């Protein structure tokens, strides 16, 4: 599965508000990023970006109330990056 497809599937799971599917898609994307695959520098950077976003989304769910504002900003940034990844490859 491509990076764009992983990004699209994470966004779709979030949009239907399915926590189990969301976690499954995060896990799938994380494992995809962990695999060493050859490719262009652009593809490697996309994989690294997706991995970073997945880690951010996972940690964003465990932020305490005192960090809620920074957590909300981080989540918005993460979803913006997922949208970018999903459209960038498709374009």
pLDDT of residue 67: 53
**Residue 89 predicted with pLDDT over 50:** no
CA distance 37 to 23: 23
Residue tagged 């599965």 (tokens): 1
Show contacts of 32-37: CB within 8 Å, 24+ apart.
Answer: 32/1, 32/3, 32/6
Instruction: Show the domain range for 10.
Output: 3-90
pLDDT of residue 53: 94
pLDDT of residue 69: 57
- pTM as predicted: 0.80
Q: What is the count of structural domains for the chain?
A: 1
């Amino acid at each position: 599965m491509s990076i764009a497809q992983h990004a699209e599937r994470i966004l779709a799971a979030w949009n239907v508000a399915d926590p189990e599917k969301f976690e499954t898609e995060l896990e799938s994307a994380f494992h995809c990023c962990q695999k060493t695959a050859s490719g262009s520098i652009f593809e490697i950077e996309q994989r690294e970006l997706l991995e970073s976003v997945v880690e951010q989304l996972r940690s964003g769910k465990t932020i305490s109330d005192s960090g809620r504002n920074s957590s909300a900003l981080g989540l918005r940034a993460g979803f913006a990056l997922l949208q970018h990844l999903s459209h960038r490859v498709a374009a």
